[in-house]
Amino acid sequence: MNISPFFILYFCNMNKKVNFQDLGNRDYKECWDYQEKLFDEILSLKIKNRRQNLELPTPNYLLFVEHPHVYTLGKSGDISNLLLNEEQLKAKKATYYKINRGGDITYHGPGQVVGYPILDLDNFFTDIHKYLRTLEEVIILTLKEYGLDAERSKGETGVWLDVGTPFARKICAMGVRASRWVTMHGFAFNVNADLGYFDNIIPCGIKDKSVTSLNVELGMPKVDEADVKTKLKKHFQNCFEAELIS
């Protein structure tokens, strides 16, 4: 069978398409279950391809979401980094989950843009280190558009300001899970976050650095989150050489 160059080009480009969904404000567990569903569907298709010697294209997804107040602990995290008991969590209208991503404890809540890329890295590059650094670059470039020089901190995944100084502070946390080069979980970018909720944890298990939010850094009561999302999407497309489709 002859396959036209056009079809081959279309097939390759199709795998770099990323289905984008903005889920709005969603319960953490509901969104986690949805991630798992998409993740499992991609894994199942990859296994089918391998077992049946097929080349069916695997889909990719990028989810944006905002969660009600919730603390999540990664699989290697230390529960002692959560400084609240069950009654105190209820008083703060917050929930807690032990989850299957890497990293320690973090907070999600209103005023955060949480991004969950569920990607088959076989469609991009099979390198988890590069994947995390690319996600960081998306945030760094977005912050640059607001006049902030954000950085990486050696040995500490995420995006920071004033690294190497007594004022070092994290503005975006990251934690991922990957299996057979399929990813889930992702980043939590503080845009208009209530930083008081971070006082109830030792964020990411790091005791000597603080946390910040974009609105605080800009000296504004509130930053336009829709504008932030637009910038994030643009830089995601550029950094991953992908095409977001709704």
pLDDT 10s digits, 107-142 = 999 999 999 999 999 999 999 999 999 999 999 999
Q: What is the reported pLDDT for 68?
A: 97
Evaluated on CA atoms 211, 214, 216, 218, the torsion sign reads positive
DSSP-derived letter for residue 198 is: G
In this prediction, residue 13 carries a pLDDT of 43
DSSP structural state of residue 82: B
What is the domain class of 5-245 according to CATH?
A: alpha beta
Nearest by Cα to 94 from 21, 199, 223: 199
Q: Is 31 a catalytic residue?
A: no
pLDDT tens-digit series, residues 163-191: 999 999 999 999 999 999 999 999 999 99
Amino acid 206: pLDDT: 55
φ and ψ at 38, to 5 degrees? Answer: -65, -40
Catalytic residue among 12, 31, 204, 239: 204
> Can you give the residue ranges of every domain in the chain?
5-245
Rounded Cα distance between 163 and 159, Å, is 10
Residues 6+ apart with CB under 8 A from 32: 97, 99
Question: Averaged in consecutive runs of 10 residues, what is the pLDDT profile of the chain (246 residues)?
Answer: 39 75 97 97 96 95 97 86 89 91 89 98 97 98 98 94 94 95 97 93 67 97 98 98 96
pTM of the model: 0.90
Determine what percent of the chain is predicted with pLDDT higher than 90.
78
Provide the pLDDT for residue 205.
53
